[in-house]
Structure 1
Amino acid sequence: MLCQVCLCCLFFSRGFYSCRWTESKNQNRKGRWLSLLVVTLMSLLSLCWLYICLAISNDQQNVNEVLFSTLQKWANYFLVVVIISAVLASYCILLLLFALIQVALEEQLHLHWLHKIIFCFCVIFITALASGISTKGPEEWPTVLTLLQATAPFLQFGAVGALTLLSPFVFHRFHLAKTRSKMVIAGMFLAVSAAIFLCPLLIHSPCLIEVQELPEKPKLIGHRGAPMLAPENTMMSFNRSLECGVIAFETDVQLSKDREPFLMHDHRPDFLRRTTNVEEKFIGSSFNNSADLTFEQLQTLNAGEQFLKNDPYGTVSLLSEEEKETARKEIIPSLLELLKFAKQHNTSVIFDLKNKETEKNDTNDTVKTILESGIPQNLILWLPSEEREAVKKEAPGFIQVYENETDLEKNNGSHLNVKYSEIKMKNISDLRKRNITVNLYVVNERWLFSMLWCAGASSVTTNACHLLKEMERPDWVMPRSTYLITWILVDISSALVMMALFHWTKHNLRHNADGLSNDNELEGFLTA
C-alpha cells in the first residue's frame, strides 16, 4: 500500500515538475541540486513578497489613490496585486513540494521550460512593484519592519519547524557528499540553524508583556470621518464615525475662490475627480486648484455617488438601502458646517491645510472661521505648522499638535501626531510615561492596532473605526517569560528530532548500500 502511495506521488510530482511521466537518468547530481535551489529561492522570494503585501495592506487605500492619480481610472489595484502574488506564491510552494518528493524518491529534477518562464515573470513582477514602492511610497518599507516586529515570535517557531522538516534532505545530501563538500554543507546548515535558534535574542515585540501591564486601549479618531461606511469628508461620514465613539474628526481643509474653507483631501490637478461628479457637472473643464471654483459651484457637485460606484473599501454592501440613498445625496461640506456639528457633539477637530503654497493666507481665513463658529477652542487640535506662532497669539486656547518629535521637544509640546511607521515603539512608551499624548495615523489593520495598543499609543486615526471599536484586547499578548520558555523548549525539541533524523538517514543509506552490495554478490555468484 505504501509503495502504491509513493508511486502515485512520484507520478504526479514528476508530471507537474517536468511534464515527464517516465523516469529519466540524463541529469547529474549537481544539476538536480541546482534545480532544487532555484525552486527554493523562488518560493522564498514569492513568500517574502506576499508578506510585504500583508504589511502594506494597512495603507492599500493610499496605493489605490496614487495609481488613480496616475492612470485616471479607479479600481482596487492593490487587491489585484495581492491575488496575483498569492497565486504565484502558491504555485512556487507547490512546485517546491513536488521537487522535495522527487528528491526523497531519488528522482531527477528536470524543470520544465514553462516553469522557467513563470519564474522570470515572478521576478519581473516583484521587482517592478518593489521599485514602484521605493519610488512612489518609500515610507511603506518601515511598515514591513513593524509587521516583522509583530509576528517575529511566531515566524521563529515556523522557521524552526520548517528547518526540522527540511533537515532530512540536507542530511541525505551530507552523507552522500565527499569530505570537502561535507564541510561546506555542515557549515552552512549549522550557521542557518544557529541564526534561527538564537534570533529570539533580537526580538523585542511590545506585546511580550504581562496582561496586567497592558496599557489602556487607544482612543479612535475618524480619518475623514468613517470612509468605509460613508463617502469621505462628508457630513454623513462624520456622523457615522460618531457611532464608533471617536474622540475627534480628522479632515482636510482647502479654500474656495471666494475664500470659504471647505473639506476635501485631494489637492493636485483634477483634485475633484476621485470623489465627485465634476466631469459630468462641468463637461470639458479641468480644475487644478480649489481657488478655481466658488463654494457655491462646489456645492453643486455630488460627493457621494462616486463612493457607491467605486466602492473603494469593498464595504458598500454593508450599507442599508436607506443609507445608500443618504450617501447618494451628499455634497461637499464647509468647515463651518463641521465645526457646528463637532460643537453640538463636543467632539474635537484636527485637520491639514492642503494648499501649502497659500497656507499663510489659508491659515488666517481658517482661524477666523473657527473663532466665528463658537466652538470651544480646546476642541481644536491645531496641526498646520505654518504660522503656528501667530495662531497661538490669536487663539491661545487651541491645542497645539506637532508632527515630529523634534518640534515637540523644541516647543515643549504635549501632543504628537505622527505616522505609525515614523516612530519607534519604545519611543511611544517613553513619551506616554512623560504624559505626552501620542496619536498615530492611519491605522486600519487589527495587527497594527494591537501593536500600538501594547506600545501605549494614546489614540489612532483610522478608516476602520467600526472594526477597531469592537476589539476588547490586542490579538495576542504573551508574558516574556512564557515566550522564553516556549522558545527554549521548541529549540531543544527541534535539535533532538534533527539528531534522530541525522542518524536515521545515515543508517538508512548504509542499509541500502549493504542491500545493493548483497544483490551484486548474489548476481555475480549466479552468473559464475
Structure 2
Amino acid sequence: MLSISRTCLRGIYSCHWNSQNRRPNRACCWLSFLSFVSILALSWMYVCFIAFNDHNDVNWHAFKTLKKWVNWYMIVMVVSAVLATYCLLLLVFGLLHLAVREPLDLHWLHKVFLFLGLLTVTLGTAGFCKEWIEEWQTVYMSFQATAPFLQLGAVVALTLISWLVFQGYHTAQTAASKVFIMLTFLVVSAAVFLCPLAICSPCIANNLPPKPALVGHRGAPMLAPENTMLSFRKSMECGVVAFETDVQLSKDMKPFLMHDNGPSFLLRTTDVKEKFLGRDADMHANFTLQALQTLNAGEWFVRTDPFQSVSSLSKEEKREANNQSVPSLSELLVMAKKHNVSLIFDLKNEKNSTGFHNSDSYYTAETIEKSGISPDKIWWLPTEYRHDVRKVTPGLKQVYNNVQEMYADGGSFLNMKYSFLSTHEISELRKNNVSVNLWVVNERWLFSLLWCSGASSVTTNACHILKSMSKPDWHLEPNMYMGIWVSADVISLLLMFGLFLWQKRRNHVFHQNTSERSVPLLPR
C-alpha cells in the first residue's frame, strides 16, 4: 500500500511512475517557486472573495464598454479558485515528497502552468490597481474582520509544516544550516503567535451597537428587477426603512426611475431595441413618460440572472418579474407614503440643468410636494440646488456625502460609500450623534464589521440575507478571544515540541539503519 502511494505521488508531481535514483537539478528552487505562486494565488483568491461585495460594479462597467451583459466577475472568481486549488494541491504533493524522502522532480507541464498562474495573478493585480484601486481599501478593511481568524489559521498551518522544518533541521549537514533553519522558524513563529497584539478590530468588544437599519438599493435587486415596483415591494418584505433609487426627467418633465443614464441608458434593463427600433442610443430627454412605460423593464432580469438568484423565485414570481415596467417617481412616493417608508435618491442628470427652475431638483421637489408624503420621509441627497429646494419644500431631511460639507451646513446625516470612512471614524461620528448610512453593503462579513463599528444603516442589494442576521458573524468578547488565542498558541507549541522530538528520534533510527546496511560482512 505504501509503495502504491509513493508511486502515485511520484506520478502526479513528476510523471515518473518508476522509482528514480537520480537527484534532479534545482528541485528545491522549483519547490520554492511553487510555494511562492501558491501563496500569491491564495492571496489573489482572498482579494477576489473580499471584492465580491462590489462585483456588480465590474459587470456594469464592462457592459458600458461591450454593450452586452456577462457576469465577468464570476468568471474571474472561477478561474482564481481553480488556480489556487491547483497550486495548493501541487504544493501538498511536493511537501509529501519531502516527508517520504522522494526526489523532487517537478514535471515541465506543471512548471508551464505555474508560470501561467503567476502571469494571471500579475495581470489581475495590475488591472485591479489600474481600474479598481479604491477596492484595496475594502481589502484593508476586511482584515479587521478576518485577522483574528486568519491568525488562527496561520497557527494551524505553521504547526502542520513544522515537522518538515524539523526534518530539515535534523538532516542538515552543517551547524550553520541548523542555526539558519531554526532561527528563521523561530522568528516566523514568534510573528504568528504574537500578531494578535497588533490586531485592532471593532468586532472584538464587549458592547455591541444596535443592528444597522436596511435601505433597499433600487429595491431588492437580487429578488426582482432593479428600480421596479416589484423590487421595492420585495424590499418592504425585508423591513427596509428606506428605498434608494435613481431619478431622471422624461421629455415631458416627469420624474421616472432608472439607474443608467446618458446614451443607451435603456439598453441594459429594457427591451428598447425591440420596442423602438434605432432609438436604443437615445438620451432620457428623447422619451416621454408614456413611451417609457410601454417598455418591458423586467425580462432582462430573468434572462441574464445578474445575481444568480432567479432560480430561487417561484414560477409566479418569475412571471411577475418578467412583466415589469419603468415606474414614475409618483408611483414610488405613493407606496412610500402608504407604508411609512423613507426615500433617498440620486438625480442622474442634474449637472446638465441651466438653472434651478429648469432642473431635475425643481421638478422632483414639486412631485414630492404634490404627493403629500411627510417631508421628513425624504432624505434629500443631491447637492446641486440644495438650498433652493429647502426653500420650496421645507422639512426635508438633508443628507450629505461629505463630512466637511455636512458640518458647514449644520447637518447630522451622512451617506457615503462604506470604504470612504474608517471604522474608527464611523464610531466617532456616531458618538457625535451623526446618522451614518453606508452603501452598498451586500456581504455578511462587511455588514458584521459595520455593525460592530456602529453604522446607523446600510444600503444593500441583499436585504433578504442581512435581515436574518441576529448578531454579527465575527463578534468576539475580548476575554474569549484572548482565551482562544493563548490556548491555540500553547497547544501549537506543545505539538511542535512533540514533533521536534519525534523527528529527532526518526532521524536517529534512519541513520542507524543506514549505517547497519553499509557495514560489510566479515568472513568467518
Q: What TM-score do you get using the length of structure 1 for normalisation?
A: 0.94
State the partner residue of 1:180: 176
Q: For residue 175 of structure 1, report the CA deviation from its aligned partner.
A: 2.7
Q: 2:10 aligned to 2, 11, 14, which one?
A: 14
Q: 1:191 aligned to 187, 191, 200, which one?
A: 187
1:389 aligns with 2:408: no
Deviation sequence 1:432-476 (CA, Å, 0-9, x none): 222211111111111211221122111111111112111122224
1:205 aligns with 2:201: yes
Q: 1:480 aligned to 475, 478, 481, which one?
A: 478
State the partner residue of 1:136: 131
Deviation sequence 1:104-125 (CA, Å, 0-9, x none): 1111111112112211221222
Alignment of 1:107-506 (within 5 A): 107-177=102-172, 178-210=174-206, 213-358=207-352, 361-506=359-504
Tell me if structure 2 keeps the 8 A contact 1:267–1:288.
Answer: no
Q: Which moved more, 1:455-464 or 1:492-501?
A: 492-501
Q: Which moved more, 1:260-269 or 1:248-257?
A: 260-269
Tell me if structure 2 keeps the 8 A contact 1:225–1:249.
Answer: yes
Per the alignment, in what secondary structure is the counterpart of residue 525 of structure 1? coil
Per the alignment, in what secondary structure is the counterpart of residue 222 of structure 2? coil
Q: Distance in 2 between matches of 1:392 and 1:201?
A: 50
Amino acid at match of 1:38: F
Q: Distance in 2 between matches of 1:473 and 1:455?
A: 13
Per the alignment, in what secondary structure is the counterpart of residue 396 of structure 1? coil
Tell me if structure 1 keeps the 8 A contact 2:243–2:343.
Answer: yes
Deviation sequence 1:352-389 (CA, Å, 0-9, x none): 11125325622222222222222211111011112222
Tell me if structure 2 keeps the 8 A contact 1:440–1:459.
Answer: yes
Q: Distance in 1 between matches of 2:342 and 2:68?
A: 35
Per the alignment, in what secondary structure is the counterpart of residue 17 of structure 1? helix
Deviation sequence 1:247-289 (CA, Å, 0-9, x none): 1000011112222211111114322111001111122334253
Deviation sequence 1:20-71 (CA, Å, 0-9, x none): 112223335x723212211211221111111112111111222221222222
Per the alignment, in what secondary structure is the counterpart of residue 26 of structure 2? helix
Q: Distance in 1 between matches of 2:267 and 2:226?
A: 14
Tell me if structure 1 keeps the 8 A contact 2:250–2:285.
Answer: yes
Q: Which moved more, 1:181-190 or 1:369-378?
A: 181-190
| 1:268–1:114 CA distance, 2 compared to 1 (3 A) | farther
State the partner residue of 1:525: 522
Give the aligned CA root-mean-square deviation in angstroms: 1.9
| 1:112–1:356 CA distance, 2 compared to 1 (3 A) | farther
Q: Distance in 2 between matches of 1:280 and 1:132?
A: 35
Tell me if structure 2 keeps the 8 A contact 1:9–1:101.
Answer: no
Between the two proteins, the alignment pairs up a number of residues equal to 519
Amino acid at match of 2:119: I
Tell me if structure 2 keeps the 8 A contact 1:167–1:498.
Answer: yes
| 1:8–1:413 CA distance, 2 compared to 1 (3 A) | farther
Q: Distance in 1 between matches of 2:362 and 2:187?
A: 63
Tell me if structure 1 keeps the 8 A contact 2:245–2:345.
Answer: yes
Tell me if structure 2 keeps the 8 A contact 1:56–1:140.
Answer: yes
Per the alignment, in what secondary structure is the counterpart of residue 138 of structure 1? coil
Per the alignment, in what secondary structure is the counterpart of residue 333 of structure 1? coil
Q: For residue 176 of structure 1, report the CA deviation from its aligned partner.
A: 2.9
Q: Distance in 1 between matches of 2:189 and 2:365?
A: 61
State the partner residue of 2:49: 54
Q: Distance in 1 between matches of 2:469 and 2:439?
A: 18
Tell me if structure 1 keeps the 8 A contact 2:262–2:284.
Answer: no
Q: Distance in 2 between matches of 1:502 and 1:430?
A: 49
Tell me if structure 1 keeps the 8 A contact 2:145–2:474.
Answer: no
Amino acid at match of 2:136: W
Per the alignment, in what secondary structure is the counterpart of residue 416 of structure 2? strand
Tell me if structure 1 keeps the 8 A contact 2:376–2:396.
Answer: yes
Q: For residue 524 of structure 1, report the CA deviation from its aligned partner.
A: 5.4
Q: Which moved more, 1:67-76 or 1:244-253?
A: 67-76
1:74 aligns with 2:66: no
Amino acid at match of 1:266: D
| 1:356–1:9 CA distance, 2 compared to 1 (3 A) | farther
